[in-house]
Amino acid sequence: MSPSAHPSADALFALGRSILFEMDPERAHDLALGLLDKPLVRRLMLRRYALEPHPVRRLGIDFPNPVGLAAGLDKNGDHIDALGALGFGSLEIGTVTPRPQAGNPTPRLFRLTAHGALINRLGFNNKGVDHLVEQVQRRRWNGPLGINVGKNATTPIEHADDDYVSGLERVYPHADWVTVNISSPNTANLRELQHGDALQRLLARLKETQSGLATRHGRQVPIAVKIAPDLDDAGLDAFCAAAREHEIEAVISGNTTNGREPVRHHLHARETGGLSGAPLKPLADDRLAGVAARLAGSDATLIGVGGIARGRDAAHKLYLGADLVQLYTGFIFHGPALVRDCVRAIAAPTETAS
């Protein structure tokens, strides 16, 4: 299969998807992950989707390949070994909060199948950081693992720093990097942390905490910050200046968008929440290029996310300046074959500027 070909040609996945897509999206999500947890299925996945290494070293970490799973699919770390069998060069789990929380009322996840897109307003539903740490300690998969932390919905925004510091302290010994999620549109006022004094205070506290943890644990765990694709140029200017000032090791660009223009005629277009998937690609790529330009010359690692539906979409993100990429919605629609196609496309230099 050409790296630019559509990965949905994977017959095994197409059969499973046709069944799962008849179900409620959250129920299908839980069922699919539960199936992947079965040892027989996991062995089948390992054989079917094994990849030749395409190693890359960033953040002091040796990644088997630059294609990772984005946070959100495994919020609680319950399925690390299963997802690690699908060819990813890294996994990011979470978003996890200090205390368990149910998230927003259902229904809160909507498929826009014709667009290859999702709208979600999940609201950081998770079992809490203590549960996640227990699951990480049980894992057998030993690939690069990031842990994504957020704030509880009941924590006032003026005290959000406390939740992020608490999360960082709790997961630090168990993570290869820690991502600070300040860009979800589904927790009230969260995106205020991407701007101004709130951003400066948060980054300063995180770096101070990181320094103390590095001394205590004898290892430096990098911090990544995940930002929204809805930041305008002035917002990117300010955020990237702050990231440089505080020597943030990685930026993940980006998250879901509040925009609806590409799907405005769809039945679900009026649902609140973040839009992800193929329609996000132009905006995500534009913002990624903007971050790359603003961080040029720094040591920061740039991770590109948003709208990857085929191999050349991933390769194009590296062309725009990303060092690594992550998948989420494209993986839901196209399955593990998309991971393979992305790795192959990145390894093929003719695809990078497509």
Query: Among this protein's residues, is 276 annotated catalytic?
Result: no
Distance CA 342, CA 149 (A): 27
Of 90, 183, 184, 253, the catalytic one is 184
Give the angle subtended at the CA of 97 by the CAs of 95 and 100, to the nearest 5°.
115
Q: Which helix (H) or strand (E) holds 90?
A: strand 90-96
**Neighbouring-strand partners of residue 179:** 148, 224
The answer for 24, left when phi > 0, alpha when psi is -120 to 50, beta otherwise, is beta
Task: Give whole-number Cα distances, 115 to 71, 91, 175, 265, in Å.
Answer: 21, 26, 34, 11
Number of H helices, E strands in the chain: 12, 13
Strand pairing of 301-305 and 324-327?
parallel
Rounded CA gap, 294 and 306, in Å?
19
With H, G, I as helix, E, B as strand and everything else as coil, classify residue 36: helix
Supply angle C-alpha 272, 70, 261, rounded to 5.
Answer: 35
Triad 283, 286, 290: Cα angle to 5°: 135
Q: How far apart, in Å, do the first and last CA atoms of the chain sit?
A: 17
Site of tokens 């839901």: 332
How far, in Å, CA of 316 to CA of 341, rounded? Answer: 13
Residues that are catalytic: 184
